A and B are shown apart, each in its own frame.
Chain A
């Protein structure tokens, strides 16, 4: 298993550009989520999904869109990039056993800089 993969690893955007961060997992996990991590900070939840066709907002959803058309993929779209979105983005997935969400598996991250 490749686990959770993210592309690209690094990206530089200009203010106002749009782009999609890709996330895929091959573990058949129902739950997927996107976090951002700013320097010296903990992770903040952007959006999450508990299954294909189901998404919901986290703590900091503004400026980001998600969709979940398949179990495997959970792309994160930046609509109009702003310098405040400069951050490291992590995608994570987990599965559920007996109604309890298990450990989260994280991708390696995408380091985004918005100029």
Chain B
């Protein structure tokens, strides 16, 4: 299974943009890049996912490198509620690799008031 690499922790100030990087150099052509976040004492929640093109939704933007070996989750204006652990995960579309998600340790984001 393709793995991802993320920094252990990052820090941001409230109302500033945050760029959370993820490296996935062994990504295959059919792997989707998914991002989840986990607030303290809660289950993970879906943030965004994409394949090749940049994606936007109400929570965040996902910028995917042209070679797809890295991606960046962008929070446009961080709030205190965005303090969480952010996970970057690859999910394939083949029957053999789309059923088991491999979760790393993620990036712990601290937001300063």
Contacts and interface: CB of A to CB of B under 8 A. Distances in A.
Contacts of B43: 90, 92, 106-109
B44 interface: yes
Interface of B: 32, 34, 36, 42-46, 49, 87, 91, 93, 98-106
A90 B44 contact: yes
A100 B99 contact: no
Contacts of B106: 42
Interface in A84-110: 90, 92, 99-101, 103-109
Given A103-B34, A104-B46, A105-B46, 5 more contacts: A43-B103, A50-B99, A92-B44, A99-B93, A101-B99
Interface of A: 31, 35, 40-45, 48, 50, 56, 58-59, 90, 92, 99-101, 103-109
Contacts, number: 49
Given A48-B99, A56-B99, A106 B44 contact: yes
Nearest to A35: B103
Given A99-B93, A103-B34, A42 B101 contact: no
A11 B36 CA distance: 27
